[in-house]
Chain A
Amino acid sequence: MSVDIETVKRVARLARIAVDEGEAERMTGELNAILGFVEQLDEVNVDGIEPMTSVIPMEMRKRVDQVTDGNKAADIVANAPATEDNFFVVPKVVE
């Protein structure tokens, strides 16, 4: 399978990365090189094989459902580019 420049632009949109025409063109070549490389997997028969979900067989550890942490709003927003009263500030999303 290979991708064309329109697919690359669509994927860039899904990935939320702005690309200009030149970059999209360059990425098309690079992505096709990688997709060409992974095409080798077509040779492998995977009929009846379970997909890997965990490399180490283990039970998911669960903890008691109670609050163990919190009251640190100031820490959580400390690194944000824009905040107000411990809220993250973003461009207007609702008219």
Chain B
Amino acid sequence: MTELTHLTIAEAREKLAAREFSAVELTEAYLGAIDAANEKLNAYVAVTHDQARAMAKASDERLAKNEAGALEGIPLGIKDLFATEGIHTQAASHILDGFKPRYESTVTANLWADGAVMLGKLNMDEFAMGSSNETSYYGPVINPWRAAGSNQDLVPGGSSGGSAAAVAAFLCAGATATDTGGSIRQPAAFTGTVGIKPTYGRCSRWGTVAFASSLDQAGPIARDVRDAAILLKSMASVDAKDTTSVDLPVPDYEAALGRSLKGMKIGIPKEYRMDGMSGEIDALWQKGIDWLRDAGAEIVDISLPHTKYALPAYYIVAPAEASSNLARYDGVRYGLRVPGKDIIDMYEKTRAAGFGREVKRRVMIGTYVLSAGYYDAYYLKAQKVRTLIKRDFEVVFDAGVDAILTPATPSAAFGVADQKMNADPVQMYLNDVFTVTVNMAGLPGIAVPAGLDARGLPLGLQLIGQPFGEETLFTVAHAIEQAAGRFKPTPWW
């Protein structure tokens, strides 16, 4: 029999329903895998053994009574950004030391209502700020993938690096993640997993620690396209507690898999062919184009002229919103407090000790661009550029394009403590060059594994959809998956 932890959610769901094994057995298999591997991979910052066992037991009872929910007995990992009642919730930051919320995020509440089991909280870049999972207070996550013949530790990408690594290493059946500039799609691409950032407003932000409120969206990371569709269906909802949650019914995303691509128009944006792009990425992109053409789609060349301005505009908008959102961490209401000679001194010492280097850098940039005299030159200008970026997409979609195909990342996973990435913050930011446009325009985007590079590391393609066009993305991503096959790391951990 296949190892229980290697089953997809769809497979496990079927076998649980057929009573081939129990939810408790499935959960125990995952807890055993986590306990054996986490020291090496550092994907979890908290493992909730007792909670997981109690939830699995309750799932078995519901399965016995034929009252199973859509995710009954499926063990999931939760990014440390989601508030989980009574359980470690720190956004992988020192400043939230000891924080155990008295409430549950809407996204996780939706998952538990559907019968899912919580295995624990997943490591991430501190406050979701990073592209390598190296800014976590809890140390870097190690990618389960290694280059052929090498034992160098690679990053899993970020900020949802713990989510991606745990899914790829079979330490959870699926995971929640969040994406502000690429934080679901880039780690999915680095680990050979599938990650979807839905349209802004599709998943409630209530109870997720805020980074940049106009860009943050939750979504799943999963082993294949079907599992991603199953998870998103449960995570998404209309929520009165989030005024930006959109009042539209949640479709059955799984039903979109296997639909024909005939008559679909797939846009190929010339601006994503960046200067100095690696030949491997270019070849992968061409392969994706061929697969979709073979599946019956019409391929059209398109132009998104403001693409190159998305990343610089993002590095004004996101830090500005972050500096405002992170003002709440002041040593008064929760988490760390460092005493000072007066209240201002207490604030300053608490924030100096509690925030890591990247978070401080972004709060500083945000404070600067919003400060008196600079608001118009930076923030207002960036928000106008954002309008132009969104307009580029609208023009293309109005012309009949159903989805846009691009590479997901400019490279495969790089090494932990990579010198080039760490010497210059902008080098690290360039990881998000293909993904950030999607957040700036509020669109859905999915990263799907498409092949391995010459060193045997996974590479992904990205599909960008129309607002609330997630079903189309699942249809097209599934076609890529069918053509490309699936990719699993060779266990060394």
A interface with B by C-beta (< 8 Å): 1, 3, 7-8, 11-19, 27, 30-31, 33-35, 37-41, 43-44, 46, 49-56, 58, 60-61, 63, 72, 75-82, 88, 90-93
Contact = CB atoms under 8 A, between A and B. Distances in A.
Contacts of B323: 15
Nearest to A7: B368
26 contacts: A11-B367, A15-B351, A16-B344, A16-B348, A17-B352, A19-B352, A27-B361, A31-B361, A31-B364, A33-B424, A37-B315, A37-B426, A38-B315, A41-B381, A44-B306, A51-B386, A55-B441, A56-B467, A58-B247, A75-B103, A79-B334, A81-B332, A91-B339, A91-B346, A92-B342, A93-B343
B426 A91 contact: no
Nearest to B344: A16
B95 to A, nearest CB: 11
Given A55-B442, A91-B346, A11 B368 contact: yes
A56 B199 contact: yes
A60 B243 contact: yes
B49 interface: no
A31 to B, nearest CB: 6
B387 A52 contact: yes
Per CB-CB distance, the 5 closest pairs between chain A and chain B, nearest first, are: A55-B442, A51-B383, A81-B337, A18-B352, A18-B348
Contacts of A35: 365, 368
Contacts of A7: 368
Given A46-B385, A93-B342, 13 more contacts: A15-B363, A16-B344, A16-B348, A37-B426, A38-B316, A41-B385, A49-B387, A49-B388, A55-B214, A56-B200, A56-B442, A75-B103, A80-B332
B100 interface: yes
A11 B371 contact: yes
Given A18-B348, A52-B387, A61-B243, A40 B342 contact: no
A6 to B, nearest CB: 13
Contacts of B309: 40-41, 43-44
Contacts of A56: 199-201, 244, 246, 442, 467
B334 A80 contact: yes
B201 A8 contact: no
Contact of A40 (B312, B334, B378): B312
Contacts of B334: 79-81
A68 to B, nearest CB: 9
Interface string B357-370: 00011011101100
B367 A81 contact: no
A55 B200 contact: yes
A27 B364 contact: yes
B: interface residue count bin: 35 or more
Contact of A75 (B102, B311, B377): B102
B214 A88 contact: no
B389 to A, nearest CB: 9
A92 B342 CA distance: 7
Contact of B426 (A33, A55, A88): A33
B348 A41 contact: no
Nearest to A75: B102
Q: Chain A CB within 10 Å — which of B335, B341, B384, B387 has the most?
A: B384
A79 B335 contact: yes
B336 interface: yes
B308 interface: yes
A53 B341 CA distance: 41
A17 B357 CA distance: 11
Contacts of B363: 15, 17
A13 B363 CA distance: 12
B425 A18 contact: no
B349 interface: yes
Contacts of B336: 81
Q: Chain B CB within 10 Å — which of A40, A50, A60, A76 has the most?
A: A40
Nearest to B326: A15
A31 B364 CA distance: 8
A49 B424 CA distance: 32
A40 B308 contact: yes
Contacts of B386: 51-52
Contact of A41 (B312, B332, B361): B312
A72 B467 CA distance: 38
